[in-house]
Amino acid sequence: MTFHAKFSGYADPALHAAGLYIGGKWQSGSGITVLDPSTGNLLAEVADASIEDAQRAVDAAHAAAAGWRATPARQRSEILRSWYQLMTQHAEELATLIALENGKALVDARGEVAYAAEFFRWYAEEATRIPGEFRRTPSGSHNILVDHEPIGIAVLITPWNFPAAMATRKIGPALAAGCTVILKPASETPLTAYAMARLGEEAGVPPGVVNVLTTSNPGGMTNAMLADSRVRKLSFTGSTGVGRVLLAEAAKSVVSCSMELGGNAPFIVFDDADLEAALDGAMIAKMRNAGEACTAANRFYVQAGIHDAFVAGLTARMMSLKIGPGYDPETQCGPMITQNAVRKIDRLVSEALAAGARATTGGKPLTENGYFYPPTVLENVPVNASIAREEIFGPVAPIYKFESDDEVIRLANNTEYGLAAYIYSRDLKRAMTVGKRIETGMLGINRGLMSDPAAPFGGVKQSGLGREGGVTGILEFMEPKYYAVDY
Ligand code: NAP
């Protein structure tokens, strides 16, 4: 890997890994360019894995599988715990690397590193608490014993928007369960994954237990791995479109799938909400990672009585944000990941404006270098505009006025997605009653941030299958085995 000289001081050179990581060996190479989204300039170049490399990674994961599975849970736990400690020790370098390659503001990058490391600590603890079951049949005449076994080799595919946390949210439970893994990070943000693999090596993860591959041929490489009967799990985080393709591919060899896909979160503000709290929550739910989050508030439904005050308050807050490169400590809103991302946001906003929406701030891409889109608030947005159906993945808050509870429930559920939703109300009974009728995997009530390693993260409808984190996250990497036992 080459690393742009200008940035060599930003992150600990010890974290600059050399390329593919297979069977505990580093294999340098080139072919995948990593750009600084704040300038479009080359940041680094990393290796481009071939299908043969992927097959070697499966071989390495297979060779390490029996040993890792047999490693006592306490020992697996301690390795994860030291990986957590190393990430914490190197938090500032990792955050800088994330800010550099992803573009998110340092404050968000620091938050991500803490969140990401926490998955290792959480699963270091869960590794020693894998549940089992003993019960008697209803007739009372037989015994049922249920054990949980590691599912086998897991392929982990992650997106660019949380380069550290989406990887640890999978590696943590997989390793805790006793599985070996092959991680394929997003091409835009591979540096963080390689840096974390370096730390994993230092933490004592045995060769072959974690393998990391970057590739310009994700489809071909993944299909080849899924066709290998030794691979028993696919855990994917990314768009619903790619998720559908992978589910179809995995069906060919009946591979178990966990899917963390796209979202279209409604953010509902009732008349009786605490306005300041709702605005604080809205800024977090919308602007964490400059809106590039699957849980990002995508549609603001605000009740008529509080609507105008909410629009004014949100506009003032969005206007006050400082835009700049993520690695500038003063930045509050960094660039988007690519020029294509800016184009998509521009299309959605332009279509909304043409349909009658009004921008109270922002509304056009910035023309300077880099992939910047300014914080934007849209009011009077038609409820059927394309911006209400598609993931914006950017710093744009479209606001829709509503009158009744039934109306907002219908609007909130009018989407193929069901990942996250938010409700602000001082009346908890109302919030819970409405919340029960919202089709979502996660609901924030008077909270703008719900991600927590100790909680089950995931969606319903086309937002995914399965849950990551929490007590059940480890079971995604295990198979129950039933023993019918008489004595
Ligand atoms: P994406 O385009 O679906 O890519 C995600 C990952 O899949 C990348 O590593 C990508 O590799 C890889 N990929 C692309 N095509 C593939 C194929 N045919 N076979 C195998 N792998 C393939 O998504 P993204 O743009 O990176 O991420 C944004 C999306 O992720 C949004 O929809 C967001 O909501 C979702 N997301 C969901 C969650 C959640 O927990 N539910 C969390 C974060 C993000 P390349 O980079 O090499 O193309």
Cβ atoms within 10 Å of 257's Cβ, excluding its own: 20
Cβ of residue 245 lying under 6 Å from some atom of ligand 1: yes
Contact by Cβ (8 Å): 344, 391: no
The pLDDT, as a whole number, for residue 390 is 98
**What residues contact residue 267 under an 8 Å CB cut-off, 6+ apart?**
281, 282, 285, 286, 297, 299, 300, 301, 421, 422, 424
Q: If you write DSSP's letter for every residue of 38-87 in order, what string do you get?
A: TT--EEEEEE---HHHHHHHHHHHHHHHHHHHHS-HHHHHHHHHHHHHHH
Residue 9 predicted with pLDDT over 80: no
Residue ID of nearest Cα to ligand 1 atom 30: 238
Confirm or reject: Cβ of 190 under 6 Å from ligand 1: no
- Residue whose Cα lies nearest atom 46 of ligand 1: it is 186
237 C-alpha vs ligand 1 centroid, how far in Å? 6
Q: Which residues contact 102 (CB under 8 A, 6 or more apart)?
A: 37, 109, 160, 161, 163, 188, 189, 192, 289, 326, 334, 337
Which are the catalytic amino acids? Answer: 260, 294
In short, whether 283's Cβ falls inside 6 Å of ligand 1 is no
Please write the tens of the pLDDT for every residue from 144-195: 999 999 999 999 999 999 999 999 999 999 999 999 999 999 999 999 999 9
Give ∠ CA 329-330-331 in degrees, rounded to 5: 95
Nearest atom in ligand 1 to the alpha carbon of residue 159 is 26
Work out the average pLDDT over 136-143: 96
What mean pLDDT do residues 320-333 have? 97
- Dump pLDDT digits (tens) for 257-316: 999 999 999 999 999 999 999 999 999 999 999 999 999 999 999 999 999 999 999 999
- CB of 300 within 6 A of ligand 1: the answer is no
Distance 158 CA to ligand 1 centre (A): 6
Ligand 1 center–CA 239 separation, angstroms: 5
Taking only Cα atoms into account, the Rg of the chain, rounded to an integer number of angstroms, comes to 23
CA 262–ligand 1 middle distance (angstroms): 9
Q: How far is 281 from 369, CA to CA, in rounded Å?
A: 31
Ligand 1 atom 13: residue of nearest CA: 218
For residue 241, which atom of ligand 1 is closest to its CA?
A: 3
Residue with CA at minimum distance from ligand 1 atom 6: 159
Q: What's residue 15's pLDDT?
A: 55
Place of tokens 């990672």: 289
246 lines ligand 1 (CB under 6 A): yes
How far away, in angstroms, is 242 Cα from ligand 1 center? 7
Could you tell me if the CB of 466 is within 6 A of ligand 1?
no
Give the residue whose CA is nearest to atom 19 of ligand 1.
219
pLDDT tens digits for range 478-487 = 999 999 999 8
Ligand 1 within 6 A of 219 CB?
yes
3-state secondary structure of 313: helix
Per-residue pLDDT of 194-227, as tens digits, reads 999 999 999 999 999 999 999 999 999 999 999 9
Which residue CA neighbors atom 10 of ligand 1 most closely? 186
What the block records as the tokens of 78 is: 């301690």
Its pTM stands at: 0.97
Q: Best of 294, 298, 442, 461 to mutate for ligand 1, by most ligand atoms within 8 A of CB?
A: 294
Could you give the 3-state DSSP secondary structure of residue 398?
strand
Residue 223 near ligand 1, beta carbon < 6 Å: no
Query: Per-residue pLDDT for 11 more than 80?
Result: no
235 C-beta closer than 6 A to ligand 1:
no
The chain-wide mean pLDDT, for the chain, equals 96
Whether 236 has a pLDDT exceeding 50, the answer reads yes
Measured CA to CA in angstroms, residue 164 lies from 142, 191, 299, 464 at distances of 47, 10, 27, 20
Cβ of 261 closer than 6 Å to ligand 1, yes or no, is yes
Cα of 102 vs centre of ligand 1, distance in Å, is 14
pLDDT at 367: 78
Cβ of 338 below 6 Å from ligand 1? no
Pocket test for ligand 1, best of 166, 194, 239 (most atoms within 8 A of CB): 239
pLDDT number for residue 104? 98
Residue 57 has pLDDT above 60, yes or no: yes
pLDDT digits (tens, 9 = 90+) for 383-407: 999 999 999 999 999 999 999 999 9
